[in-house]
Amino acid sequence: MLGDCGMKEWERLALRKNSVTFLRDLVVDDLLIQCLQQDGILTENMAETIMAKPTSQGKSRQLLFLLPKRGPQAFSSFCAALTATEQQHLCRLLMDFTEKDKSFSEPSLPFPTQECVIPAKRARTHESMEMCLDADSPVTTAVLPCTPEFYQSHRSQAYPMRSCPRGLALVLSNVRFDSANADLDVRRGGEVDDETLRRLFMELDFTVSLHKDLTAEAMRRCLEQFAQRQEHAKYDCTVVCLLSHGVEGSVYGTDGQLLELDWVFEVFDNARCPLLQNKPKMFFIQACRGEEMDNGVDQLDGQERTQSPGCEQRDAGREGERDDKEREEKDRERLRVKLPQRSDMICGFATLKGTAAMRNTKKGSWFIQELNSAIRQKSNDTHLADILVQVKRFSPLSFLNAMIHCMAIYLNNVNMLAH
């Protein structure tokens, strides 16, 4: 049995010494759990226990608690699973630790090479994961953490980001549309986008809900239910991502009906969603806003843009005197501080008004690629509005609409509850 022969002592020590980094950076997703299950390291009950944890850190902590008890192959299988889920930096961390430490008398177990850690028979839980392993797919790096010094010097100017998790994130992704709507073709590469966003916000310690291929009415119900979730009261912010075909002011459901974006913002405003008052509400819209194409012009001193030929697509009251009591009530109402109907909102669009959004069928959309890269590299010390300005530089048609109320959004400020 596994319990009769556990990990080697040096393997336990390698995990223990690097536990802080793993709790911060490790992404425990379905693919990683499946890899460990197929190697017989985790049972079905163990997998369910891990994935039931509400936060990213909770999942990581439970997995690291179980691994040392799961037999002599657990360590090498864990390293293989890290490589299979594009977390090679964590695998290298364990390898570097064992290579530098000369105090162990036990012979080292051979570490798997990248060529042999993904057997051909191993199934994938998500089609998009296979695409993430393509040479032509987006490169994912770990989200950079913020320093305590930066947190202390900026927290008075920023929205609080101390809750654990930081907030709820909702991703609605329509890739395949009803066959009756001939004009709405399959959004090839769209599945890469939704997986990219799911992993990004999970690593930023959001609780992420991903829903795919919904009709316009189902999207409305999903958004209304999400906006009314009572957990918003405990958390510091929220994220909504809509990925579909679209026109100016609306996105398509799979049935070809339109969902108006103005209605979406209304669902989350201060009147209809009081639990999110004074909290940042972030929206990211990957959809066309028209049919106009902007192919750009050659920059005389610019570098050549790397292309993937054949992979680009468009996404397409009564008057009169009042008594003293009414006057007093009116005066109190005048003195009461009121919020605007809509505040604390920021929205990043994939494209400008009237133009088409571009999507690579292997890498995903231009906008989501750059958004993912910029947030991972800059969220530790850069205001989200400035991050979106950087995204606009590399995805020139993207557009920012901000109704930020007073303070800055630093997505990856230090979570003080974890220290």
CB 122 within 8 A of CB 375: no
Q: 3-class DSSP state for residue 171? A: strand
- Is 154 an annotated catalytic residue? no
- Is 288 an annotated catalytic residue? yes
Residue type, 415: N
162 Cβ contact list (under 8 Å, min separation 6)? 236, 413, 415, 416, 417
- Terminal-residue alpha carbon distance, the chain: 37
Instruction: Give the H/E segment covering residue 208.
Output: strand 206-212
R_g over Cα of the chain: 24
CB 384 within 8 A of CB 319: no
Burial class of residue 110 (count of CB atoms within 10 Å of its CB; 0-12, 13-18, 19+): exposed
Query: Token pair 């797919």 is at which residue?
Result: 137
State how far the Cα of 35 lies from the Cα of 1, in Å rounded to an integer.
Answer: 20
State how far the Cα of 352 lies from the Cα of 159, in Å rounded to an integer.
Answer: 28
From the candidates 91, 241, 288, 347, which is the catalytic residue? 288
* C-alpha closest to that of 189 among 173, 178, 170: 173
From the candidates 245, 273, 347, 383, which is the catalytic residue? 245
Q: 3-class DSSP state for residue 255? A: coil
State how far the Cα of 303 lies from the Cα of 305, in Å rounded to an integer.
Answer: 6
340 Cβ contact list (under 8 Å, min separation 6)? 270, 403, 405
CB 109 within 8 A of CB 8: yes
Beta-bridged to residue 251, according to DSSP, are 246, 259
* DSSP code at position 49: H
Query: Token pair 């890469």 is at which residue?
Result: 192
Q: 3-class DSSP state for residue 47? A: helix
How many CA atoms within 13 Å lie on the side-chain side of 296?
11
Q: Which residues are catalytic?
A: 245, 288
